[in-house]
Structure 1
Amino acid sequence: MLMAFLTCNSVANISCLRPSNQFTIPSSPFKPFKLPSFWPWQKVKMGPLSVSPMGFGTWAWGNQLLWGYQESMDSELQQVFNFAVENGINLFDTADSYGTGRLNGQSEKLLGKFIREFPGKKLEQSEIVIATKFAAYPWRLTPGQFVKACKASLDRLQIEQIGIGQLHWSTANYAPPQELALWGGLVAMYEKGLVQAVGVSNYGPKQLVKIHDYLKARGVPLCSAQVQFSLLSMGEEQMEIKKICDSLGIRLISYSPLGLGMLSGKYTPSNLPRGPRALLFKQILPGLEPLLSSLREIAESRRKTIPQVAINWCICKGTIPIPGIKTVKQVEENLGALGWRLSSTELLQLEDAAHESPQRMIQNIFQTK
C-alpha cells in the first residue's frame, strides 16, 4: 500500500524588484502579506525557461486516496493558484496521472482553468511555466503514443505549449525495451513544438546519463531531472544525481521536500495524519527526533518555521523544491522559505542531524539506478 501511493507522485539574475514589499491581494479576501524584498521574483534558469526559485506541486489536486481531494475544494484551489502567481511563483508541476479514478487528469484541468481565469495581466499568464509528467503506462509503447498523451495534456490544460514535458518514470527496472519509446516520444514532442523543454522524473544516475546522451545526439537538451530530494532523502544516490545534473547543466527539481509532511513539524508518533500516510509516518517518525530537533532549533533562532527551514535547505543545495499546496496558508508559509539562506554551519548541523536519525524516507519503487 505504501509503495502504491508513492508511485502516484512521485540565482541567475534579479528580474524584478517591487517598489514596496507590502501588498493587498485584490482577488482574495486574505490579509496583506509582507513579502521578501526581491525573492521570489529572482528567477533561475532551467533550460530555455526562467522560473521562480521554488515551484509548487499539484499532486493533491484531484487525489482523493492520499490527499482527500473533493471538487468542492476547487474555489479555494483557485485562490491558492492566484495567490501564488501574484506573489511571484511561476512554476507549477503536475502529471497526466494525477487524480483518482474518474478524476484522472484533474490536476491539469484545474491548472488550465486557473490560468485562463487568472485576474492578472496576460503577460503574467504567458510567463507561467507548466511542467507536466507523462506516465509510462504499459500500453504506451511507441513515440507516437507519447505524442498523443502530450496532446491530451494540452487539451486538458487548454494551452498552446507545455513548458516542460517530463517522463514520469523510467521502465528500465522492469521493461527495458519500452525505454526507447519513452525517449523517442520526448524527442517527437520537442521537435513538434508541443513542449518548450523536456525533463525526466525518478531517473537514477546511470539512466540519467544515458538519456542525456541519447537526447543530446538528437539535438534535444535535457532541461530538468525531478527526484525525491530532502533532508529525509539525501543518500549517496541523490547526491550523485545532483553532481551529474551540475556537470551536465540539468536543473534538479526536488519533489517531496517535506517528506510528505514528516518535516512539517505538525506530526508526532501519537499525532499521525489520516489515511495511508499514517502507516508510513508510524514507521519513520520515531527515528526522526535528532533531525526534527535541529530543524526546530534553527527555525526558532531564525524566526522561521520548520517547513521553511527544510525547504530552504533544498534551495541552498541548488535545487528547485516543489512542495505541494492546498491552502493559501500553505502558500504563505512556503513563501517564507525564500529571501534568505541558511549558513554553512546551519547546513552542516542539519545534515549531521539527518545522518544521526536512523530512519530514511522510502524511495519510489520506479526510481532507477
Structure 2
Amino acid sequence: MALTWSPAIPGVPPCDLRRSAVSSLPSARRLSSTIIRSVRASLRLGPLFWPWQKVKVGPLSVSPMGFGTWAWGNQVLWGYQESMDTELQDAFNLALRNGINLFDTADSYGTGRLNGQSEKLLGKFISEFQGPGNVRENVVIATKFAAYPWRVTPGQFVNACKSSLDRLQIDKIGIGQLHWSTANYAPLQEKALWDGLVAMYEKGLVQAVGVSNYGPKQLLKIHDYLTTRGVPLCSAQVQFSLLSMGPEQMELKRVCDSLGIRVIAYSPLGLGMLTGKYTASTLPSGPRGLLFRQILPGLESLLFSLRRIAQARGKTMSQVAINWCICKGTIPIPGIKTVKHVDENLGSLGWRLNSDEILELESAAQDSPKKMIQNIFQTA
C-alpha cells in the first residue's frame, strides 16, 4: 500500500511517497513551488486562530472570538424567559471550557424589571463556574454604560460602573465602554461621558476603556481627548458583518488599525439573517420578523455564496460568516442563547477563508440591494 502525505493546503493534492522518491526532479520542483505558493498565500491571510490562542486588546489577552449577551434578559426582541437561565449557564460553561474568555454585555441589557439581567447572569455564572480557578480568573468582561440623559457628570458614570461591578460580582471590569455617543442629539453631554471613562480608569474600576457605535470622526475626537488625559483607547465596537460592510465600517477599521485600536464586531450574523435558517415563509417572531421581511428577499446571491462555501468546506453558513469577520481583522461577538449556538460558533475558529472565497462573499454582499439597518445611535 502506498504511503501518502497530505500537506493540508488548499489546491495541493496528497503525494505518493514511493512515487515521489523516484519522480523526476522537475516534477518535484513544480510540486514544491505549488506548496510554497499556497503557504505564502495562507500566510498573507494570517494565522489560524483557535479559542485558546489569545489576541491583545490593550493590556488584555482575549480569545479571537467573544460572545455577546444582548439576548439575556431581553423579552421584547429575543423572547427571553427566566426558565432559559439553566441553558444559558450551560452555554457559558461550554464556552469557557473551550477557551472563550471574552463576554460582552451592557448595563442596559434586560427589559423592564429585568434591566441589568445580562450582567447579573454573567456574575452568577462566573461565580458558580466549576472548573480550574485560572479559567475563571481569566474571564474578560466588556460591559457598556448607557448614555442616559440623567448621566451628566463623571461621578454618575463612576456610580454606574460600581453598580455593574456589583451585578457582575467582580472587582474590576475588563473593558469599560461607552455604549453610544450623544454627539448627534446632545453634544454638550459628550464631555461628561469621556470624563466618566477617565474617572473609571483612574480609580482602577476598569482595566481598559473602549467605545461602541462611534464612527471614525467621533472616534478620532475621543481618542485625542483620552490621549491628553493619559488614558489609552483600546477598542471600538461596531455593527460589522457581510450585511454591514459599508464605507463607514471600512473607514472605522482603517482608523482603528492606524491607532492600534481593536475593532469588536457585534451582530456578525446580521441578527440571524446570515445563518440560512430563515426564509420569507419562516421568519422569526416579533420585531425581528418585520426587519427580516424587508431585507431577506434581497439577499439571495449572498446567501447562495455563503451556502456554497459552507458546503464545500463542511461548515455552516454561520461559521463562514463569522470567519469572514475574523479574516477582516475584527473580534466578532455573536450572541449565544443555547449550547448549540456555542458549539456551532466554536466551529468558526481554527481555519480561514481563502482570498477567492473572501472576494466572492464581498462581491455578493456589495451587489445585494438590501443592507442591514444601522444602529440609530451610530455616529459619523
| TM-score (norm: length of structure 1) | 0.90
1:240 alignment partner, one of 251, 262, 268: 251
Q: Residues of 2 paired with 1:220 and 1:133: CA distance?
A: 17
Q: Which residue of 2 aligns with 1:206?
A: 217
Which structure 2 segments of 5+ residues have no match? 1-47
Q: Which residue of 1 aligns with 2:285?
A: 274
2:121 alignment partner, one of 110, 115, 118: 110
Whether 2:85 is the aligned partner of 1:74: answer yes
**1:156-175 residue pairs with structure 2 within 5 A?**
156-175=167-186
Larger Rg: 2
SS in structure 1 of the partner of residue 334 of structure 2: coil
**1:33-52 residue pairs with structure 2 within 5 A?**
39-52=50-63
SS in structure 2 of the partner of residue 160 of structure 1: coil
SS in structure 1 of the partner of residue 275 of structure 2: coil
Q: Residues of 2 paired with 1:355 and 1:38: CA distance?
A: 27
1:216 alignment partner, one of 224, 227, 230: 227
Which structure 1 segments of 5+ residues have no match? 1-36
Q: Which residue of 2 aligns with 1:57?
A: 68
SS in structure 2 of the partner of residue 272 of structure 1: coil
2:296 alignment partner, one of 285, 303, 316: 285
Whether 2:370 is the aligned partner of 1:359: answer yes
Q: Which residue of 2 aligns with 1:128?
A: 139
SS in structure 1 of the partner of residue 209 of structure 2: strand
SS in structure 2 of the partner of residue 164 of structure 1: strand
Any conservation in 1 of the 2:106–2:143 contact (CA below 8 Å)?
yes
Q: Which residue of 2 aligns with 1:140?
A: 151
Whether 2:112 is the aligned partner of 1:86: answer no
Q: Which residue of 2 aligns with 1:310?
A: 321
Q: Which amino acid aligns with 1:94?
A: T
Deviations 1:180-207 (A, max 9, x none): 0000000000000000000000000100
Shift of 1:356: 1.2
Shift of 1:38: 7.3
Shift of 1:271: 1.0
SS in structure 1 of the partner of residue 375 of structure 2: coil
Instruction: Answer 1 or 2: which has greater helix percent.
Output: 2
Deviations 1:133-174 (A, max 9, x none): 000000000011000000000011110000000000000000
Q: Residues of 2 paired with 1:360 and 1:101: CA distance?
A: 30
SS in structure 2 of the partner of residue 69 of structure 1: coil
Whether 2:264 is the aligned partner of 1:253: answer yes
The count of corresponding residues between Structure 1 and Structure 2 is 333
Q: Which residue of 1 aligns with 2:350?
A: 339
Any conservation in 1 of the 2:49–2:64 contact (CA below 8 Å)?
no
SS in structure 1 of the partner of residue 274 of structure 2: coil
1:196 alignment partner, one of 195, 203, 207: 207
| TM-score (norm: length of structure 2) | 0.87
Structure 1 outlier segments of 4+, above 6 Å: none
Q: Which amino acid aligns with 2:114?
A: L
Q: Residues of 2 paired with 1:294 and 1:76: CA distance?
A: 32
Q: Which residue of 1 aligns with 2:242?
A: 231
Shift of 1:270: 1.3
Q: Residues of 1 paired with 2:49 and 2:210: CA distance?
A: 28
Deviations 1:310-366 (A, max 9, x none): 000000000000000000001000000000000011000000000111100010011
Q: Residues of 1 paired with 2:379 and 2:78: CA distance?
A: 26
SS in structure 2 of the partner of residue 318 of structure 1: coil
Shift of 1:76: 1.0
Q: Which amino acid aligns with 1:106?
A: Q
* Residues 181 and 272 of structure 1: CA distance in aligned 2, closer, same or farther (over 3 Å): same
* Residues 207 and 38 of structure 1: CA distance in aligned 2, closer, same or farther (over 3 Å): closer
Q: Residues of 1 paired with 2:148 and 2:289: CA distance?
A: 28
SS in structure 1 of the partner of residue 72 of structure 2: coil
Whether 2:334 is the aligned partner of 1:327: answer no
SS in structure 2 of the partner of residue 254 of structure 1: strand
Q: Residues of 1 paired with 2:334 and 2:251: CA distance?
A: 22
Q: Residues of 1 paired with 2:160 and 2:309: CA distance?
A: 45
Q: Residues of 2 paired with 1:196 and 1:38: CA distance?
A: 24
Deviates more, 1:266-275 or 1:234-243: 266-275
Shift of 1:122: 1.4
Q: Which amino acid aligns with 1:82?
A: N
Q: Residues of 1 paired with 2:306 and 2:357: CA distance?
A: 9
SS in structure 2 of the partner of residue 262 of structure 1: helix
Q: Which residue of 1 aligns with 2:307?
A: 296
Shift of 1:211: 0.4
Q: Residues of 2 paired with 1:144 and 1:95: CA distance?
A: 18
Shift of 1:75: 1.0
Q: Which amino acid aligns with 1:193?
A: G
